[in-house]
Amino acid sequence: MRWMRPLSEWYFDNAGYRKLGLRADDLIPEEDEIVQQALKRLSPKEAYDRVFRMRRAFQCSLSHQLLPKTEWTKTNDDYPYLQPIIREITAEQTEREDLESMIINKRKATPKGSSPNIESKH
């Protein structure tokens, strides 16, 4: 699998978004509700940096030019910042759905030391 790393780096370098100063997570479409929630959870600095990168890339696109090579996104700077938050929100929603789908059967009288029966709809 070591041969995959250079191949993936070559692919990401040639995808072009780094030449516009963008990071991979900047390319995630914002229309999804989960992505909207994730964007709201970004730190103020990360949110500002994202908007700056997007506007700068838009300007480059309008002028049909790339950034100077010194301003391209470097491989080690292209780490996921939005995907972990998206995974966290998805896990929270799954947990919420699981909790909402639980059925709790209460007994009329429970002896000391025992608890009510809990069943899941799944």
Task: Report pLDDT digits (tens) over 56-88.
Answer: 999 999 999 999 999 999 989 999 999 999 999
**pLDDT of 112 strictly over 70:** no
Identify whether 8 is part of a domain. no
User: Does residue 119 come out as left (phi exceeding 0), alpha (psi in the -120 to 50 range) or beta?
Assistant: beta
Identify whether 5 is part of a domain. no
Identify whether 71 is part of a domain. yes
Which domain does 98 fall in, by range?
Answer: 14-107+114-120
Which CATH number belongs to the domain containing residue 76 in this structure? 1.10.1090.10
- Which ranges of the chain would DSSP assign to H, the alpha helix? 4-15, 33-41, 44-62, 83-100
How high does pLDDT run on average in the chain?
A: 86
Identify whether 95 is part of a domain. yes
3-class secondary-structure state, position 80: coil
The model's pTM: 0.72
Identify whether 23 is part of a domain. yes
- When divided into structural domains, the chain yields a total of 1
Identify whether 1 is part of a domain. no
Identify whether 89 is part of a domain. yes
